[in-house]
A = this chain, B = another copy of it.
Amino acid sequence: MEELKIFAPATVANLSCGFDVLGCCLDSVGDEMLIRKNDLNEVRITKITGQDLPLNADENVAGVAVKALLKELDSNEGFDIEINKKIKPGSGIGSSAASSAGAVFAVNKLLGEPFQKKDLISFAMQGELLASGNAHADNVAPALLGGFNLVRSYCPLEVLSLPVPSDLRVVVLHPLIEIKTKDSRSIIKQNVSLKSAINQWGNLGAFVSALYTEDYELLGRSLQDEIVEPVRSILIPYFRELDELVTENGALGFGISGSGPSVYALCRGDENAEKVKKSIQAFYSKKDIDFELHLSAINEKGVKIL
Residue positions of A touching B, CB distance < 8 A? 17-22, 150-154, 158, 160, 162, 188-195, 197-209, 212, 218, 221-222, 224, 227
Contact = CB atoms under 8 A, between A and B. Distances in A.
A191 B194 contact: yes
Given A158-B221, A201-B204, 9 more contacts: A21-B201, A152-B206, A152-B218, A153-B203, A154-B202, A162-B209, A190-B195, A191-B191, A205-B208
Given A162-B209, A191-B191, A152 B197 contact: no
Nearest to A161: B209
The oligomer's copy count stands at: 2
A5 to B, nearest CB: 34
B209 A151 contact: no
B153 A21 contact: no
A205 B202 contact: no
Contact of A204 (B158, B193, B204, B222): B204
Contacts of A22: 205
Contacts of A205: 18, 21-22, 150, 152, 160, 201, 204-205, 207-208
A193 B190 contact: yes
Contacts of A150: 202, 205-206, 209
A197 B195 CA distance: 11
B194 A188 contact: yes
Contacts of A212: 209, 212
A192 B197 contact: yes
A185 to B, nearest CB: 10
Nearest to A193: B191
Given A198-B19, A209-B162, A152 B192 contact: no
A160 B206 contact: yes
A194 B189 contact: yes
A113 to B, nearest CB: 25
A159 to B, nearest CB: 10
A203 B152 CA distance: 5
